[in-house]
Structure 1
Amino acid sequence: MSGTLLYAQSGGVTAVINATAAAVIAEARARKIKVLAGRNGILGVLREELIDTTKESAAAIRALAHTPGGAFGSCRVKLKSLEADRARYERLLAVFKAHDVRWFLYNGGNDSADTALKVSKLAAEFDYPLTCIGVPKTVDNDLAVTDCCPGFGSAAKYTAVSVRECALDVAAMAETSTKVFVYEAMGRHAGWLAAAGGLAGKTADDAPHLILFPERPYDEADFLKQVKRVVDRVGYCVVVASEGIRTADGNFVADAGGNKDSFGHTQLGGVASFLAGRVKDSLGLKVHWTLPDYLQRSARHLASKTDLEQAMAVGKAAVQYALKGMNATMPVIKRISDSPYRWKIEPAPLEKVANHEKKMPAGFIRKDGYGITAAARKYLEPLIRGEAPPPYGRDGIPNYVELKNPIVRRKLADWKE
């Protein structure tokens, strides 16, 4: 079988996205297929900065599976419609042709699935033999069709464990010090990670005592009333708040100056500090807060074994689907049973994934809006199960791999926007 496979990473990385990359490369090597990787995602493809993965040893590729970050670099570059961004799409096609790329695997979220779908349509228009596969990844767990997203399970495990540990700290100090602790979780429109924080406790008096979801409008007066009730009853209150919570009129509670990222999304961050300020000013309680931010998605040392296995499974399946010519497809996770937890990989059309957002089901949020239900716990718990620690060196630091990432010789003129 002749031709080259091109793999690229997109958007925010996860603790296990490199595990997907490792599985892609290993499966392709087993089938004697050369793999190139875009340096910094689709941006590297446009610039014809393509990494030759054949220069990496088998041991280095295996080590990718326990290394966080994005080994080849990622980017936030959103391509518009084929009509509005035609020059970029035609440049991509020119790069594919120059390097005999017959299979394109784009590892990302909603926008990446959309890009892979559009590239497949352009290739068909020019009658170029290209199979495009979207490979799922996101800590937000908001991709449609798939039961869960590789990357989410590990971020969820980090969230649940961190909330549990912080709660023990707060409980120890509550008599004379901190009464309220606010933990900010990622999640622009979907509260999956905030919900994962709910796994830290099992009873009404266990932390987190209150969870704020973007699926429910933020009511400050009611929130403050709930905080006071919990403090009066338990002695302290732990709050998990999604970064994407909004007021009833639709405005983000944490809008960092109205800035936008490369995907056109409002730049969020700071909801925990805002809530902490309101609690302190209104209730006069001592408050601490935290913004884990990148820690949620980079904590490979606390990865979920389930998540790692699923990340590698979608990478392997992506190569298999590509070589079978299953164009405009994504390997997704299908849950077979909850107990025992069983799952499998199956194909889904990119059209059903691209630009569709999966939010928390209403049945996963407690009726009062401040916690998760038994149904949510049943769904979430299997995703954080199992440990898959990286190997540690004598210095006490994990042995993460850094690839050589040599760039292949360019064949086209420099790309200029």
Structure 2
Amino acid sequence: MAKKNAFYAQSGGVTAVINASACGVIEAARRHSDQIGTVYAGRNGIIGALTEALIDTSTLSDEDVAALRHTPGGAFGSCRYKLKDIDAHRAQYERLIEVFKAHNIGYFFYNGGNDSADTCLKVSKLAETMGYPLQAIHVPKTVDNDLPVTDNCPGFGSVAKYIAISTREAALDIASMCATSTKVFILEVMGRHAGWIAGAGGLAAEKEGDAPHLIIFPEIAFDRQKVMAKIDQSVKDHGYCVIVVSEGARYEEGTFLADAGSVDAFGHKQLGGVAPTLAGMVREDLGYKYHWAVADYLQRAARHIASETDVQQAYAVGQKAVELALAGRNSVMPTIVREESETYQWHVGEVALSDVANVEKFMPRDYITEDGFGISDAGRAYLQPLIQGECIPPFKNGMPVYVELEHQLVERKLPDFEV
């Protein structure tokens, strides 16, 4: 009986370390070449499977595959494309199985967050009902750190490190100029519903009075009067105020401060910029000179300052996904398990996808200070280990060296499919 091939795809917003997971999958599969045939990667994520645009990773050199470990972005292309409801749009899912069958694919590794966990679970169930032997393993990835069960998500530690460092560096800039210039600085970070990234900004502070002076979390209802009073007091006490605000900051009734009035491909509210919205309030209520910045894609692309812990974990879950598949596991996800020890230790576990799909993990209230504007000791103890270590990529001519892969596509066997 011929060896089964594998299909790997990247989904959603990429991270500084998602390619480390791809490296883990491909290298593990190559070590088990007696059991796994070719690893195909979807060009532009799951769309690559639907359109039968399969990249043959066997043409990649070992050196190029290894270089994925220090390359940001999505090396095979990702996508914001959510498969529709399986009952109303069964043809999409059946198309995936048809492509898998045509290319003898028995392993499905889907690298993404909450929505892709749901997709992976649905594909696994459909394959079972259609009698097609497929092992579907979800490889966790999300900068938002909002996947349940796993202690943390690969991709988050590097964003957390970037935000903590950026907060400290920006604060030094503001402090040096506040006597005659900007007194309020606002840094907007990602985090639609969960404030993990905003909370990471709190790691910049090591003693009382250090920036950030306010963190605005989605988990804490926004109270304009209280926020403005806190900003005003910080300027009076320190001469300036540094704020880290999550894009998902919201009022008590649930309305986002920066609701743009539209939705993205996954049906999520598009957010129109909370930093300028908050800056407008500062201008109207306090009259202080302000400046704001949006970390945006920079925070998730900054491989040059990635957390070594994050890189190791991203690689480990990719490797573990292959090991789980070879052990006969199906419809599961590798997890990061934090061990109970004096120093930070972790190992990779697993969880059923049914416990992960469509579930979000929020910042626990005890990770946030009582006033709702900072991280507590418990929050710091959780976050600090995740930004540890530096994993600097190779440099040439003053610039990091990142690999760009040639996408050699496999010959198509099926008719065109409308996406």
Find the partner of 1:45 among 43, 46, 49: 49
CA contact (8 A) 1:8 1:41 kept: yes
Residue 389 of structure 2 corresponds to residue 386 of structure 1? yes
Matches within 5 A, 1:181-330: 181-256=185-260, 258-330=261-333
Q: CA deviation at 1:80?
A: 2.8
Letter in 1 for 2:217: F
Find the residue that maps to 1:104 and give its secondary structure: strand
- Separation (CA, whole Å) in 1 of partners of 2:350 and 2:147: 14
Q: Secondary structure at the match of 1:259?
A: strand
- 2:23 corresponds to which residue? 22
| Alpha-carbon separation, structure 2, partners of 1:75 and 1:227 | 39
Deviation string for 1:99-148 (max 9, x for gaps)?
00000000000111110100010010011110000000000000000000
Greater Cα offset, 152-161 or 265-274: 265-274
Specify the alignment match of 2:179 in structure 1.
175
Match of residue 144, structure 1, among 142, 148, 167: 148
Q: Read off the aligned partner of 1:405 and give its amino acid letter.
A: H
Q: Residues 340-351 of structure 1: matches in 2 within 5 Å? A: 340-351=343-354
Q: CA deviation at 1:206?
A: 0.4
2:137 to 133, 136, 158: 133
Judge conservation of contact 1:338–1:379 (CA < 8 Å) in 2.
no
**TM-score normalised according to structure 2 size:** 0.98
Q: Which residue of 1 aligns with 2:409?
A: 407
The answer as to 2:161 corresponding to 1:157 is yes
SS class of match (2:296)? coil
Whichever residue aligns with residue 199 of structure 1, its letter is: L
Corresponding residue number in structure 2 for 1:398: 400
Give the % identical residues: 59
Distance 1:177 1:99 in 2: 63
Superposed displacement of residue 9, structure 1: 0.3
Q: Residue 244 of structure 1 contacts residue 252 of structure 1 at CA under 8 Å; is this kept in 2?
A: yes
State the shift of 1:347 in Å.
Answer: 1.2
Matched ranges for 1:367-378 at <5 A: 367-378=370-381
The AA in structure 2 aligned to 1:108 is: G
Contact 1:39 1:49 (8 Å CA) reproduced: yes
Q: Give the letter for the 1:374 counterpart.
A: D
Structure 2 Cα separation of the partners of residues 182 and 85 of structure 1 = 44
Select between 326-335 and 273-282 the one with higher mean Cα deviation: 273-282
Corresponding residue for residue 358 of structure 2: 355
Aligned to 2:7: 6
Q: 1:416 deviation in Å? A: 1.8
Q: Which runs of 4+ in 1 moved over 4 A?
A: none
1:78 Cα deviation (Å)? 1.1
> 1: distance between equivalents of 2:176 and 2:32?
56
Q: Deviations over 1:135-190 (max 9, x none)?
A: 00000000000000000000000000000000000000011101000000100000
Q: What value does the CA root-mean-square deviation take over the aligned residues?
A: 0.9
- 2:112 corresponds to 1:108: yes
Provide Cα deviations, 1:18-69, integer angstroms capped at 9, x if missing partner.
0000111001011113100001000111000000001110000000000000
Q: C-alpha offsets along residues 232-277 of structure 1, whole Å, 9 cap, x if unaligned?
A: 0111000000000111121100112x12110000111410111112
Q: Which runs of 5+ in 1 are unaligned?
A: none
Give the unaligned 5+ runs of structure 2: none
CA distance in 1, matches of 2:43, 2:157: 26
What is aligned with 1:31? 32
Secondary structure at the residue paired with 1:290? strand
- Once the 2 structures are TM-superposed, how far is the Cα of residue 338 of structure 1 from its aligned partner? 5.5
Matched, 1:331 2:331: no
In 2, the alpha carbon distance for the partners of 1:39 and 1:194 equals 32
CA offsets, 1:171-216, max 9 Å, x none? Answer: 0001110100000010000000000000000233100000000001
Query: Secondary structure at 2:70's aligned position in 1?
Result: coil
CA contact (8 A) 1:109 1:138 kept: yes
Q: CA deviation at 1:77?
A: 1.0
Query: Contact 1:103–1:323 at 8 Å: present in 2 too?
Result: no
The residue identity in structure 2 corresponding to 1:12 is G
Task: Find the aligned partners of 1:274 and 1:61 in 2 and give their Cα distance.
Answer: 43
Give the secondary-structure state (helix, strand or coil) at the position aligned to 1:333. Answer: strand
Match of 2:101 among 97, 101, 115: 97
Equivalent AA in structure 2 for residue 28 of structure 1: A
Amino acid at match of 2:235: V
Q: Can you list the C-alpha shifts for 1:78-109, whole angstroms capped at 9, x where unaligned?
A: 12332122010000000000000000000000
- Range with greater deviation from structure 2 (198-207 or 304-313): 198-207
